[in-house]
Amino acid sequence: MGRKGSTAHLKRLASPKHWAIPRRVKKWAARPKPGPHGLEEGIPLLILVRDILGLALTGKEARKIIAQKKIFVDGKPRYDYKFIVGLMDVISIPDMNLNFRLVPDAKHLIKPIEIPKDEADKKLVKIRTKVTVKGGRLQVGTHDGRSFIIPPDSENFELSIGDSLLIRVPEQEILRRFPLKEGYVGIILKGENAGKVCKIERVGELIEAKDLDQADIYRVLARNIMVVGEGVPVIKVREK
């Protein structure tokens, strides 16, 4: 009888295209465990440590670094090399005094940018789901698998799908809300313009937004843009 369910291994040739790994050097790659991001939206911690950040030369070295709890994700030590990381996650390496944020990238879907230490406890999350629960409270779910319960008397009770929250990690404290509305600033998440920061000018079937640095106008689906501030990004989301 054949085995049921997905295998614990993943052939490199079949791995998602955005994984920045050599395809023909070895046969297998680490298959991430189910976590806050989907397979097509994130990368295993091992690949981040070895192939992207270059903190290790081999998988064995990367696994050792991770097992020693030297890598923090959103303020928590992660010791499983198959843990999946993704969009807007904050990666901290206290021993090296380094902090990174994973931001959208046109080539590899996400890439790390170095951020100042005072931003290492701040993260932007996008609202993907919204339901009313017992007591008339609002429950919202975010792109990274978080869940928030909002009481009716909260200033955040008017949250809508597509809005963003600036939160403090790991406490998950809501600091600010940024609605998906004209005048706010967003970052494009996917496609050839991924990573572009722009001012939202029209919200409809397509979001129309103007590049903050040049005259380009982008038209994207609402799911492919994330609000990151009002006037300017509230935290660092690009290199410059």
Residue 14, domain member (yes or no): yes
State mean pLDDT over 209-224: 96
pLDDT score at 24? 43
Q: What is the pTM of this model?
A: 0.88
**Residues pairing with 102 in the sheet:** 112
- Is residue 240 in some structural domain? no
**Residues 129 and 168 occupy one common structural domain:** yes
- How many domains, in total, are found in the chain? 3
Using one digit for the tens of pLDDT, what is the confidence trace for 157-179?
999 999 999 999 999 999 999 99
The whole domain housing 222 covers 184-232
Q: Are residues 96 and 158 in the same domain?
A: no
Residue 142 sits in the same domain as residue 191: no
Q: Which residues of 123-147 are buried (b: 16+ CB within 10 A; e: fewer)?
A: bbbbbeeeeeeeeeebebbbbbebe
Q: Which region among 25-34, 41-50, 142-151, 172-181 has the lowest average model confidence (pLDDT)?
A: 25-34
Say yes or no to pLDDT of 215 above 80.
yes
Judge whether residue 11 has pLDDT over 90. no
What CATH number does the domain containing 228 carry? 2.30.30
Distances, alpha carbon 83 to alpha carbons 30, 88, 180, in Å: 10, 15, 30
4 located within any domain: no
Tell whether 55 is covered by a domain.
Answer: yes
